[in-house]
A = this chain, B = another copy of it.
Amino acid sequence: MEVTRKNFKEVLPLVRDSIEAADFLAIDTEFTGLMSGRDVSMFDSPPEYYATLLNGTADFLLIQFGLCTFYWDEKEKQYMNDAYNFYVFPRGRPGPDRLFMCQSSSLDFLASQDFDFNKLIREGISYMTEPTEAKLREELTEKQKKLGNEKDCIPIPDEHKVQIDNICKKVRHFIDFENEDEMEIDRCNAFIRRLLFQELGKRFHNEVFVESKMLENKNRVLKVSKIKCGNDRMNRDVQKKNEEWEQFEDAVGFSRVARMISQSGKLVIGHNMLLDVMHTLNHFFQPLPTDYNTFKEFTHCMFPRILDTKYMSSLPPMSDKVDSSVLTHLLATMSEAPFSVPKALCKPGRGYTLADDKQHEAGYDAYITGVCFLAMINHLVRMRGEQPARLPPLEAAIWKPFMNKLYLAKTAHQDSPYINLTGPDPTPTRDHVFHVTFPKEWKRSDISQLFSPFGQITVQFLNDTTAFIAFSRRDLARGVPRAFAGDRRVTIVPYVTYKIPKLVNKVYFIQWRMF
C-alpha cells in the first residue's frame, strides 16, 4: 500500500495493527545518496567502517521507507504479508527547514527505477527526530501562551508610512461602509505584509481578522475578514491554535511509525541493512553518536532484534549455493533446489505476492527480503530433519549465528564481515596488509610480479602511486618488509603503522565499482 501525507492519518491505525499481528518485520529504504567523501576501505575494522559511513552519509535523506509485516495464518499454515510503501520528505513549517545532500548518480538510479520524485516532494510524509520534536513542542506552547509577541513589533520605516496608512484607510472604509465580509490586499511584498499584519492587528484588533492566503496563481495576499461578535475573535484564536497543533502532529508524521516499530520489540530484518538502520535512527530517533560503542548500544536499545539477510546468506550452508547475494539474485537462487520459496500471500490490496515485480520499490524489496529470509530459515529447519512451519522462537539456538549482526558489504570478503550489536566484533588482524608506494608508471601486473614469491595478493589502489596490499599467504607476509628493504622503487609500511599517524582522509575509488 502506498502511503503519502494524503492518506497517512487513515493508514496509521492499519500499520499499528499490522505490526502488532506480525511475527517479524522486513524493512528497506531508499536514500538521496550513498557516499560523500571517502569510501570505506576493504581493510576497515568495524569502528572505522562506522566512522566512515557516519561522515559520508549522514547528510543524505531517507526518502522511501518500505515496511512489510509477516503474520502467521494458522489455518493455512503459512505466512501472509501486509506491506506499506511510505514516501517521506521533511517539509519545513512547522518542521525545521532542512538542508540535505543528494548524489546525482543515486537520483539517476532511482529515476531509472521509476521512482516518483514529484510524489515524494509534493506528498511525502514529514518527520523529525525526538529532540527536534521536544524542542518544537516547547516552542509552540510558548508561542501560543504569549499571543501578540511584542518583541517583533517593528516601527514603520518612514518610506513605507504612506503606503501603510493608505491601506489602513481602505480597511477602515471596508469595515464601515462595505457589505462584503472579506477583502483582499494584494501587491505587497513580504516586508509590507509583515508590517500590515502588525498594524492591522493593532488598529483593528476587535474588528477584523487578518490571514495570509495563497491565491490560485500562487501569489500571496492578505485576507481581511470582519469579526461579527465578541466570540468570533476568540473562536478564531482557538481554532488557529488547534490548527497549529494539528500541523505539528503532521510534521512529526512518519517518526510515529518508526517508533512503533521500535516499541514493538519485534524481529526486524533487512538485506544489507547497516545504512537502513543508520538512516532510520538518524532521521526518526536521534542524531547518530560519533562513538562506535554508543552506536551499538543505541541501535540495540531501539531495535533489540535485528537480522541481516545478506549476512545470513553469506554463512554455511547457504553460502555454498549463493554465488551472488544481490537481492534479486538471492531470490532466484532461493527458487531453486535445495531451497524453495514459501507462498507469502496477502489479503487483496494489503501486501505483495511473488507475481508482483516491483523491484526497488522499497516495500517490494522488503517483501522479497522477507521471502528470502523464510526460504533460508526453512532450509535450515529442514536440514535438521524438521518440517518448516511458524518461525522457531527467537531464543532458539538456530538464530544464534545471525541475530543482531549487521553485514559489512565492503569488508565482508576480507575478514571483517559484520558488526555484532550484542557482543565483541571480529577483530581481524592486519598483519598481512601493507601500505605500498610505487612508481607512477606501474601497473597492477608490475605489483603482482614484484610480490609473486609471496603468493597471491589483493590490491586496493588509493591513487596512482599507493595501494593497500593484502597477502593471502599470511604466514609469508611477515617477511615482506625485510625482503624489499633495499628496493628503492617501493616503500612498504605495515598497515597498522600507516594507520596510526594519518587520520585517513584520502578520497579513493574502488576501481571495479565502475562495472
Contact = CB atoms under 8 A, between A and B. Distances in A.
A111 B121 contact: yes
Contact of A98 (B32, B103, B359, B413): B103
A157 B117 CA distance: 41
Contacts of A121: 107-108, 110-111, 117
Interface-centre pick from A122, A212, A217 (highest chain B CB count, 10 A): A122
Interface in A25-49: 32-33, 36
Contact of A456 (B158, B324, B326, B444): B158
A33 B99 CA distance: 8
Contacts of A187: 323-324, 326, 329, 332-333
Give the secondary structure class of A's interface.
mixed
A328 interface: yes
B150 A444 contact: yes
A323 B111 contact: no
Interface stretch (A2-10, A88-96, A300-308, A391-399): A88-96
Contacts of A111: 118, 121-122
Interface size class of A (residues with CB under 8 A): 35 or more
A163 interface: yes
Nearest to A95: B104
Interface stretch (A191-199, A348-356, A377-385, A400-408): A191-199
B218 A112 contact: yes
Interface of A: 32-33, 36, 89-93, 97-105, 107-108, 110-113, 116-118, 120-122, 150-155, 157-159, 163, 186-194, 197, 212, 214, 217-219, 323-326, 328-329, 332-333, 357, 359-360, 413, 442-445, 448, 456-459, 472, 511-513, 515
12 contacts: A90-B104, A100-B102, A152-B512, A153-B444, A157-B472, A159-B413, A186-B329, A187-B329, A188-B323, A197-B515, A217-B328, A217-B359
Shortest 5 CB-CB contacts between residues of A and residues of B: A194-B512, A117-B117, A92-B105, A151-B443, A189-B324
